Structure 1
Amino acid sequence: MRQLYSFFIQVFEWLLPVLGLFSAKLKEFRQVRRDVFSKLRSDLHSDDQVIWVHAASLGEYEQAVPVLEGLRENYPAAKIVLTFFSPSGYSVRKNTPLADVVTYLPLDTLANAREFVGLVKPILAIFVKYEFWPNYLHALQRQKVQTLLISGVFRESQPFFKWYGSWMKSSLSAFNYFFLQNEESLRALNKLGYSNAAVSGDTRFDRVARQRTYDNRLEFIEEFRQNQVLLVCGSTWPEDEKLLIDFINNTAAKVVVAPHKIEAEKVDRFIKQLKRKTQKYSGYDKDQLRSAGVLVLDHVGLLSKVYYYADVAYVGGAAGNTGLHNILEPATFGIPIVTGMHIEKFQEAQDLRKLAGLFTVSNPDEANSVLNKLIADKAFREQTGMIAGHFISSQTGATKTILDYLNSQTLTA
C-alpha cells in the first residue's frame, strides 16, 4: 500500500505544472517548492549538526515555539531547519529568529524524502501534532534519526484506524517517542500497538503563558481604548460577523475586530454594515482613533498583544465550519471567551466551557445576551476571566517534559 500511496503522490507532483494552469493555489503550491533543495544546499554544510522541526501551518508553529526556544538554548551550535506545509505558516514566520533555515516541505514522494533527509542529515527530527508523512518517516528511520512527535493527537477517526489506512501504522515506528496532549490520544495510540509515549500536555499552553512575560504594550490600542471596556473579536469569519454585528452596533463598549482573512474588499464590506464610527488600523489617525467606537485590525501579527488589553474576547471560526481559532491567546490574560457553537473538535474549548470560562452562542440573540452580561457585570466578567487564566496556568509544563527527555538522550549525527 505504501508503494501505491507513493505512486499517487508522484503522479500528483508530475501533474502539478498542468494543474497549476487551472488553479492559482496549485500553481503557488508548486512554485514555492521548486527551490527547496537548492536552498538547503546553499544554507547547510556537510559538518552542520541539524535539528529539523516540521509544522504543518501557523498553529502548529505556535505549538513548536517553546520547544524551538529550548532547542536554541540547549543546543546553541546546532542549526535548526524549520519546514512548513502551508503558506499560512511560512509566509508569516519565514523570518523567525528561532530557525536558521525556513522552507516548505516538498511533497512526500520517495525521491523527495530521500533527498531531503540526505541533504539535511538531521541529528533530531520533531513533528508537531499530527503530521504523518510515511515516506519522510521511512527515510528518517532508515537513517536512524531520533524522531519525536510533540503535542501529538490521535483519534480513532484517523486513517490509522480504518481499513484503507491501516498500512500507515508501520510508519509510526519511526518515532522514538510520542509526547501526547491527552489520555484519549494515549489510549488510541496504545490500540495501534505503540507504548513509547507519555501524556505531556499541549505545548501551546506554555507558548501562550509566556506571552504574559513579554512587553505587550501597543500605543494605538491605548489611544483607541481610552480606559473603556474593550471587546476584542479575533480571527473572525463572515459567519462570526453575522452573529456579532447587532451587538457591535448597539454596545457602548469599544470593539476591536480582527478578521481572519484580511482582504480589502471584504473588510470594506463589513465596515459598511457598522453604524458606529469606525477606524481601520491601516492609515489610522490618532484623533479619529480616540473617538471611534470600532477598530478594524487589518494587519497580521498584532492580535496576541491586542488581547492583553481586552476585557472580553470573541474568538472566531466556530460559528461556521472553518474551525475554531486560538482561544488560549486571550485566555492567558484572564479574560472570558465567547465563541460559536462548533467546538466539538477542540478539547481545550470544551474543557474551558465545562469550567464556565467560555460561552458558546448560536445566533445574534444569544450573542447579545452573553456579551451584554459580560460587558455590564464587572464582577461576573472578572470571575469568568479568572477561570480562564487559571485554566492556562494549570496546563503548562509540556515543554519541560520534552526538553528533559532530550537532555537525557545523546544526539549524534
Structure 2
Amino acid sequence: MNAGARLSGAGARAVLALEPLIRRAWPELGRALSARRAAAAELAAWGRRREPGPLVWLHGASAGELLGAAPAVRILRAREVGRPGRRATLLVTHSSPSGRPALEWLDPDRAGYPPLDHRRDCDSVLAAVRPGLLVFAKLDVWPGLAAAAARAGTPTALINGTVRPGSRRSGAVALRLFRESYVRLATVGAASPEDARRLAALGVRSDRIEVTGDAAFDLALERADRARADGSAAAYRSALGAPGARTPRLVAGSTWAADEAALLDAVATVRREGGPGWQLVIAPHEPTAARVRELLASCAARGVPAIRWSRLGESATAPAGAVIAFDEVGRLAELYAAGDAAYVGGGLGGTGLHNVLEPAAAGLPVLFGPHHDRTDALALVRAGGGLSCSAGALAATLAGLADPAARARHGRAARAFVEADTGAATRTADLLSPLWPAG
C-alpha cells in the first residue's frame, strides 16, 4: 500500500475513534460520519445483490464536482443505447451531503456516501461492487480508494482535473505521500494546460493527460438555457414579485455568514446614499434550518425585514424591502436566471469561492470576494463579466451596477465567457470511451 493510503487509513481510524465526541460537538458532521461508516456495509450488500454486468463508479466531493461530470456521463450513457450488450450500471458517491442535488442530472442506479478511506472498507466494497471503471471528478482522488482499485485491477480516471495554485497537494510532503495515487491513474482529462502541468508534477504520467477543459461550462450553459425555456426562471421572477426599475434584484448564492453581513451592510449603504434599493435574495450554502435561522437573525439585528422563500405563495407575502432567504435545495442555477445581478459566496470568509459559472451563464454580472484561488473566477474578471471586491468596496460596486446599461455590458461579457469554453463534455466523453465498460 502506498504511503498516502496508509496515512488516509490512519486518519479514518482516528476519526472513528473520536466519533462520539464529534457527534456531541458537531451533530451534522457526526451524522455525516455515521453515514460514511455505514456506507461500506451498505454498498457491499447492494453490490452482492445487483445483477451481474458492467458498472462505472463516479465519485465527487460535492455537487459542484459531480455536476461538472454530468454532461460527459450523459453523453457516454446515450452512446450505450445503440451498442450491443447491457448498459453499464452507474454508482455515484459524494463526500458531502451537498452532492445530492447533482443526482437528478446523473440519474444513477445507486448513490450515497463512499466508504471511509481505509483498506478494509475499500477492499470489501470493490470486491462486492466489481466496477469496470472508477472515475474521480475534478479534485477528489482518494488514496485509499485508488489503492483498492489498483489491487482489484480496476482502472481509474480523473476528469475535469484541477489543481489550484498553491494547493496543499503540491507541497513537498504531499507529493511524496500521494504520488502513487496519481501515477496509477489510467487517464486524466485536465481542465486547462496549467492544470495539466500541475497534475504531471503530482505524478500523473504525461502520456495519460489530455487537456479536455471543464465540462462545468457546458452544464452551466445548459441549466441557464433550460431555466428560460421551461419557464422556471419566469416562475421565480413571478413569485419574487416585480421590484421595479429602481429596485434591481441581486441573487446571492452559496453564501456564508461573512458574505451575508457584507451584503446587508452594502445594500443598506447604497439605499441610504440615494442609490437603488436592490431586492436581496440570499441562498445560503447548504441552507439548513439552522443556517436560515442565522440569516434571519442577522437581518433582524439590522432592522431589515426578511422572509423564508418557502413561505412565499402560501399565506405570506414579502414585506417591502424584505430580504428573501432562499431555502430550496438544488435550484440555484434557475434562481440566478431570475436575477439582475449575482453575488457568489465564499470569497470573503476564507471558506472557498463557490460556482461562478452558473450566474455567468445566466448572463448576469457576477460579484464575489477577493480571497480565492479559482482560475475560472479570475478569468471571468479579465473577460469583464466578474467583479471582485472586498466587503468595504461592495457598496460602491453595487452603486455602479445601478445603471442597467452597465449590468447589461457585464452580463453579456459573462455569458460570452461561458460560451467560449464549452465543448469539454464531448472531449471528456471521448477520453473515457475506451475505458467505459460494456456488457
Q: Same fold (TM over 0.5)?
A: yes
Quick one: structure 1 residues 367 and 10, their matched pair in 2 at CA, closer, same or farther if it must change by over 3 Å?
closer
Aligned-pair identity (%): 27
RMSD: 2.7
- Tell me the CA shift for residue 64 of structure 1: 1.9
Which residue among 328, 340, 348 is the counterpart of 2:376?
348
Which residue among 70, 73, 80 is the counterpart of 2:75?
70
Which residue among 41, 50, 61 is the counterpart of 1:45?
50
Q: Which has the higher contact order (CA 8 A, sep 6+)?
A: 2
Find out whether 1:232 has 2:251 as its counterpart: yes
Q: 3-state DSSP class of the match of 1:32?
A: helix
Q: Which residue number in structure 2 is paired with residue 112 of structure 1?
A: 121
Q: Which residue number in structure 2 is paired with residue 12 of structure 1?
A: 14
351-360 vs 263-272, which moves further: 263-272
Q: 3-state DSSP class of the match of 2:160?
A: strand
Q: Which residue number in structure 2 is paired with residue 367 of structure 1?
A: 394
Q: 3-state DSSP class of the match of 1:53?
A: strand
- Tell me the CA shift for residue 3 of structure 1: 7.1
Q: In the alignment, residue 297 of structure 1 is paired with which amino acid?
A: F
Find out whether 1:127 has 2:141 as its counterpart: no
The answer on whether the counterparts of 1:19 and 1:26 sit within 8 Å (CA) in structure 2 is no
- Tell me the CA shift for residue 252 of structure 1: 2.5
| In 2: Cα distance, 1:265 partner to 1:227 partner | 25
| In 1: Cα distance, 2:217 partner to 2:281 partner | 24
Q: 3-state DSSP class of the match of 1:257?
A: strand
Q: Which residue number in structure 2 is paired with residue 89 of structure 1?
A: 99
The aligned length equals 409
- Tell me the CA shift for residue 304 of structure 1: 1.3
Q: Which residue number in structure 2 is paired with residue 194 of structure 1?
A: 205
Q: In the alignment, residue 46 of structure 2 is paired with which amino acid?
A: S
| In 2: Cα distance, 1:395 partner to 1:160 partner | 26
- Which blocks of at least 5 consecutive residues in structure 2 are unaligned? 82-86
The answer on whether the counterparts of 1:330 and 1:337 sit within 8 Å (CA) in structure 2 is yes
Q: Which residue number in structure 2 is paired with residue 404 of structure 1?
A: 430
The answer on whether the counterparts of 1:374 and 1:380 sit within 8 Å (CA) in structure 2 is yes
Q: Which residue number in structure 1 is paired with residue 151 of structure 2?
A: 142
Residues 193-342 of structure 1: matches in 2 within 5 Å?
194-195=205-206, 196-214=208-226, 215=230, 216-226=232-242, 228=244, 229-249=248-268, 250=271, 251-262=276-287, 263=290, 264-273=292-301, 275=303, 277-285=305-313, 288-289=317-318, 291-342=320-371
- Tell me the CA shift for residue 349 of structure 1: 0.8
The answer on whether the counterparts of 2:185 and 2:204 sit within 8 Å (CA) in structure 1 is no
Find out whether 1:175 has 2:180 as its counterpart: no
Find out whether 1:381 has 2:407 as its counterpart: yes
Find out whether 1:395 has 2:426 as its counterpart: no
Q: 3-state DSSP class of the match of 2:91?
A: strand
Q: In the alignment, residue 148 of structure 1 is paired with which amino acid?
A: A
- TM-score under structure 2 normalisation? 0.84
The answer on whether the counterparts of 1:62 and 1:204 sit within 8 Å (CA) in structure 2 is yes
Q: In the alignment, residue 279 of structure 2 is paired with which amino acid?
A: K
| In 2: Cα distance, 1:261 partner to 1:85 partner | 14
- Tell me the CA shift for residue 94 of structure 1: 6.3
| In 2: Cα distance, 1:10 partner to 1:325 partner | 27
Q: In the alignment, residue 32 of structure 1 is paired with which amino acid?
A: A
- TM-score under structure 1 normalisation? 0.89
- Tell me the CA shift for residue 211 of structure 1: 0.8
